[in-house]
Amino acid sequence: MVSGMAGLRERKKEQTRRRIAEVALRLFAERDFAAVTMTEIADAAEVSRATLFSYYPTKESLVLADVGAEDLAAVVTARPAGSTPLAALRGYYRDLAAGPIAELDREATVTRLGVIFASPALSAAANSLLYRQRERLAAALAEEYGERVAAIVAAEVTAAVLTIQERYFRRLVDGADPVAAGRGLADDVTLAFDLVERGVAGA
């Protein structure tokens, strides 16, 4: 009974989190990110400011909650024995292309990207989050490659991944069927890691 109640509370919290984010995204798309206040978001989502801030401590986090959230360093450090760091990362992104990213809500994703690209503040914050992700990945790769090589490999991997994700989202914006866009993403993952591992001549 206790676990059932706890599960219900967690589901309600997740529903509230999603409702707040959806309301905020709609307001940002309608009026511009900079023009919307946290108070307006709380009012529109029918929650208190305290509740809003308990879920999203900053206005930026309403849009960027999962940007740079993939723990690529953990993918490298937790890889199976005998697997190379790049093989582990390739497998991670192939699984991502086949599952979570291919199942994203197309309309919400396109709206969110439009809000980010239209806001210099959000674009800068997203770049900062991605930079931190790259630094963590470089630290994890250093044990295998040494710091100098690890820094370059981490930069190559994160730049390649960002590019293939942009290509995927661009397909969606241009009206591509989500299934076809997902297949294109999987193909791009394979090509990207072939290029990182073997270079242009090798791939």
Q: For position 84, what pLDDT does the model report?
A: 94
pLDDT in tens, the chain (203 residues): 555 666 778 888 889 999 999 999 999 999 999 999 999 999 999 999 999 999 999 999 999 887 767 889 999 999 998 999 999 999 998 888 877 565 667 778 778 888 988 899 999 998 898 899 999 999 999 999 999 999 999 999 999 988 988 888 888 778 777 778 888 888 999 999 999 998 877 65
Longest dimension (CA), the chain: 62
Burial of 179 (0-12, 13-18, 19+ CB in 10 A): exposed
Q: For position 37, what pLDDT does the model report?
A: 95
Count of CA atoms in the C-beta half-sphere (13 A) of 163: 13
Q: For position 102, what pLDDT does the model report?
A: 58
Query: From CA 78, how far away is CA 81, in angstroms rounded?
Result: 9
Q: For position 101, what pLDDT does the model report?
A: 63
Q: For position 165, what pLDDT does the model report?
A: 84
Query: From CA 199, how far away is CA 57, in angstroms rounded?
Result: 42
Q: For position 135, what pLDDT does the model report?
A: 95
pTM confidence score: 0.77
